[in-house]
Amino acid sequence: MTKKGRLSENIQRFGRSLLLPIAVMAPVGMALGLTGALVQGYMIERVPFLGNPALQAVLVGLRSIADVIFTNIPILFAMGVAYGVSKKEKGISVFSSIISYLILNATINVWLKTTGNLASSDQMAQVGQGMVLGIQTLRLDVLGGIISGLIAAWLTDRYHEKELPIAFAFFSGKKFVPIVTIGVTIVAGLVIPFFWQFITKGLISMSSLILNGYIGVFLNIVMVRLLIPFGLHHVWSAMLRFTPAGGIYMIAGEEFVGVLPALNKILFDLGPSHEAWGMVPNLTRFMAQNQMLVTLFMIPAIGLAMYKTSFHKNKKFVKGIILTMVLTPFLGNITEPMEFSFLFIAPLLYVWYVVLAASGAVALAALKTGVGYIRGTIFDFAIFGLMYENTSWYNLFIVGIPLAIITYFSFSWAIKKWHIPTPGREEDEVEYNTLLKEKRYDEVARIVIEAIGGRQNIVNVENCVTRLRIDLNDMHIVNKEKLKESGTSGIFFPAKNHIHIVFGPNVEFVKNAVDKELRGELA
């Protein structure tokens, strides 16, 4: 693989690593949102039995338990990045990331004391300092966790087989990794404070464009959706959610860096009755309300257009496939199966899709909509739209219904006008298999391995949320036609000798089956 290809793959690997903490935050956030809504005074007025003291104690207790996740988000990212980025000995990598995070904050504390920059308790927020695990340090927040995770992953892959002289042999191999992590992190902790102000200024300068009214809203959606094919949209979203590029907010006398921590504070702590609730539309214009336009309105419209324009003889077979591609984002927030069904065969249509989605997001922002959290499912709409006051949830229908109509008719016209071979419109006879629907992952795995050249052509197999990502010895011997028999909804090569095979939310089970087949464990 070329240097450019390795760089691209490393960035994608980093982006995938961010999904693990996000995957934890999403359901916990829903639990916090639900309990937070049910303890609000206005909700108790509407549903009096919610005021029962025992029930309120349970709800408040559940909220407190779930809140521990959001109190320690940087630790989640340290572990998630270490696990996702490291290629070898992932357990040691995660262990070392926690050590690194502790050492990083302790070292910065020493630097602040030594240089006379340690702020008093009433001045910490103004100078970007705060308490982390009982240590007064710079508020690196999620970036601190990411730095520790990257240090741990790099050192694990480099030193997990390190041999030391016989006198120190006990500390060789995996035990050497956390030790060397301490040393490297101390150096990082002494260097970062010198550059932190410049890093912060750089990210803040980016925020001046990203947060610039409707231009920023449009740009955000364009970047997210155009980066999806490359697997880099998670990196963009994380930058906006957790760094100064997403803004720095003062809420109830406390500083929050990035969109998501600020939204967490308002949604899960302060509630709609607090004056800070007025900030919600400025935060949610970069969050899940935009995704809801796609998952709840646009993708169902695209699915209907595909079904209506499919050849009559294929309608019975293609209906289940299209329904799955519609329900997957509607219920699970995963849009790639539908997007990849037309992205590579009609890229201009995908650009039109992105423009429509971005325009809808601007309309929601103009209407001061305040709906959503991380994910854009129907469940998130119910919790963060319907159950909270002052969200203007109806704007999603005001914008979404016309957007769905435009999407349906424009896609129907384009598919027929340019004879786009969307599902059900293939020129050749296509046998629509049900391997994934019937969860026959063993058979899928065998087809995949055979189609990409067998065991001898496979270097490494990983997966993200929707795709198998496989490093190959030779990409030219891949049999795409054979690969389509596995039930994949998309095949592409983002770098030399590297293939992405789209399977949707079942991809992890396909990957497990591929691993077992490669180890010879399948019957």
Asked if 462 and 10 count as a contact pair (C-beta separation under 8 A), the reply is no
Q: List all residues 6 or more positions away from 94 whose beta carbon is below 8 Å from its beta carbon.
A: 79, 82, 83, 152
Cα distance between residue 103 and residue 119, in whole Å: 20
Domain endpoint, select from 210, 243, 271: 210
pLDDT tens, position by position, 288-332: 999 999 999 999 999 999 999 998 888 877 888 888 889 888 988
Tell whether the model's pLDDT for residue 285 goes beyond 70: yes
For residues 114-128, average pLDDT? 83
**Residue 401: its pLDDT value, please?**
98
Classify residue 45: in a domain, yes or no: no
Total residue length of the chain: 523
**Does residue 109 lie within any of the structural domains?**
yes
Q: How many helices (H) and strands (E) does the chain have?
A: 22, 8
Considering the domain boundaries, does residue 365 fall inside one? no
Of the candidates 516, 489, 515, the one whose C-alpha atom is nearest the C-alpha of residue 500 is: 489
100 found inside a domain: yes
Residue 451's domain is classified under what CATH number? 3.30.1360.60
- Please give the average per-residue pLDDT across 334-354, as a whole number: 88
Task: Tell me which residue of 504, 500, 338 sits closest to 13, measured CA to CA.
Answer: 500
Total tally of structural domains belonging to the chain: 2
375 belongs to a structural domain? no
Q: pLDDT value at position 426?
A: 67
3-state secondary structure of 38: helix
What pLDDT does 414 receive? 95
Average pLDDT over residues 229-238: 77
More confident residue, 63 or 200: 63
What was the pLDDT predicted at 4?
64
- Flag whether 128 is in a domain: yes
> Rounded CA gap, 135 and 75, in Å?
14
pLDDT score for 66: 85
Amino acid 283: pLDDT: 94
Separation CA 359–CA 275 (nearest Å): 29
Percent of the chain having pLDDT more than 90?
48
Please identify, among 187, 210, 233, the residue that sits at the C-terminal boundary of a domain.
Answer: 210
Cα 81–Cα 83–Cα 85 angle in degrees, nearest 5 = 60
Q: Does some domain include residue 490?
A: yes
